[in-house]
Structure 1
């Protein structure tokens, strides 16, 4: 993941003490957002295929998806070395971005794999 560049972070002294102003490089943040989006999409596809092969139906499949996305979020936070504000502007970016589009991909590949393995 791309962090902020040296020139984008500055420290300024004021009469109240040391204030740190952290600014994010927009290009690096967009790159990080693409990484999150592609990671969630890829893992949703793989998770959908696995759920279909394992024969999950109904609520089991959706619980599997939510667990998969939770593990994905933890993995992304760990990849960012638990310093979210260095790479993103908020926690919501890591936890929620790509969630619904990932759900659609998951359901598509879940039903496809289930049909191939268990119906045909």
Structure 2
């Protein structure tokens, strides 16, 4: 004697409830295999070490209070920039022409009129 299809579905539903599975009689691809896996977020979040306090953070903290701090690395950088400028090795100066006054940007110059 064959069991009815509805009885088999009821048995499958109870079995899924007992073993904490999803009941899917149509056998659709629901992505349950991926959803059952452990979450990777916490592992990826701890990949890089935690950020430590930098000197710039301390400067920003004490600046509103009117306290000044001295950053030797920043001072050395500014000094090397000044020395490079004196030797002519600094960045070039910006071009100081008005927007409509540059003859090379004119359409008459490009067309040769």
Q: What TM-score bracket applies, with the shorter chain setting the length?
A: under 0.3
Higher relative contact order (CA 8 A, sep 6+): 1
Higher strand content, 1 or 2: 1
Q: TM-score, normalised by structure 2?
A: 0.25
TM-score scaled by structure 1? 0.24
Q: Which structure: greater helix fraction?
A: 1
